[in-house]
Amino acid sequence: MAKIGDRVRFLNSVGGGIIKKIEGNIAYVDDNGFETPTLLRECVVVAEAATTEKKIALTQDAVKPAAPQSQPQKAAQKPEETPEGEKLNVVLAYEPADIKHLNSTTFDVYLVNDSNYYLYFTYLTRADESIGWTTRYAGIVEPNIQVFLEEISGADLPSMDRIAVQMIAFKSDKEFKMKAPVAVETALDTTKFFKLHCFRSNVYFDKDVIAVDIVTNDIPRKRMVIDSSRIEEGIKAKNAVDRPARKPVQKKSSDKRAEIIEVDLHISELVDTTAGLSAADILNLQIDEFRKVMDANLKHKGQKIVFIHGKGEGVLRAALMKELNHRYKGHTVQDASFREYGFGATQVTI
């Protein structure tokens, strides 16, 4: 919770400053000499009171000699504790700046510490194809507060296929029950950032967010260890069960375009039912079909293949382009004929 002296920024509007006084749930924020009354819950702490006071003191010391203290220094305000706060509850959340324009908006990243403990933590990300991790934030968050980590855009998402949070919980100047260090690693489905229904209400936020539970009632999120070879085997096994008698979704076009192979990647053409399949499962099946067709035709130089993916939100097309730019480099890629396929098809020439 923000307190007097903290430097804050406004959660749902532009601006910020230093909290001068608090009355009830209203904070009066000084921004260049003007006090702005703001709901306390709308204030996000960017620098604690001690840090702010230190900066002011350093500035004053630069223009006048230090004077001896006439009064004893006031003790730092101790964080309020709650009985339920003795258990760790930590949430990582992604909040869109403009939820109505998900294709172009930025996203604010927060870590919520719903506990009586200080947390020293690091927040890291990496892409699936990358070996090492990138530290995006490292620091300490006070008890019962949320901290702003960073602002990201859609261009950052390809490097965030996996996220990790490492942390140690402690209390200051008092005895406490020791908590085990936490190291949580999990996949982040970045396609959800472009789907409105994936942003949901959350008890810690006024706006809809994508929330990832890191620790719930002292229990860390189960670490996911991904073996890519076993995933591929699992997908193939699932395909065999879902469509044992189906033929590959390839068909030669009419005599007019006999040299072109058409591949319809709509999920209704790949499986009989999507019951039990998540959006990620569906995308994996579509990419698996795409790879199967590409691998079967890599030796057929000059072969033209039209992949029909539909317009939709562009997630499948973006995934195909990622494959063509990395796994299948060197082939000619263009939009398929609008007259024959509309906007929802891509042509690849081997």
Instruction: Give the domain ranges of the chain.
Output: 7-62, 83-220, 228-349
> 8: closest CA among 51, 48, 63?
48
Positions of the chain with pLDDT lower than 70, given as ranges: 1, 12-14, 32, 49-78, 223-258, 312-313
Residue 1 contacts by C-beta under 8 Å, 6 or more apart in sequence? 40, 80, 144, 145
Q: What is the CATH number of domain 83-220?
A: 2.60.40.1600
Res 247: pLDDT: 44
Query: In the β-sheet with 16-23, what is the strand arrangement from edge to edge?
Result: 34-39, 26-31, 16-23, 7-10, 43-47
Instruction: Please state, in angstroms and rounded to a whole number, the distance separating the CA atoms of residues 154 and 164.
Output: 19
CA dihedral 249, 250, 256, 258 (to 10 degrees): -170
Phi first, then psi, for residue 277 (nearest 5°) are -100, 130
- Strands 260-264, 304-308: pairing is parallel
**Equal CATH topology for 83-220 and 228-349:** no
Round to whole Å and give the CA distance between 102 and 210: 13
| CATH architecture observed for domain 228-349 | 2-Layer Sandwich (3.30)
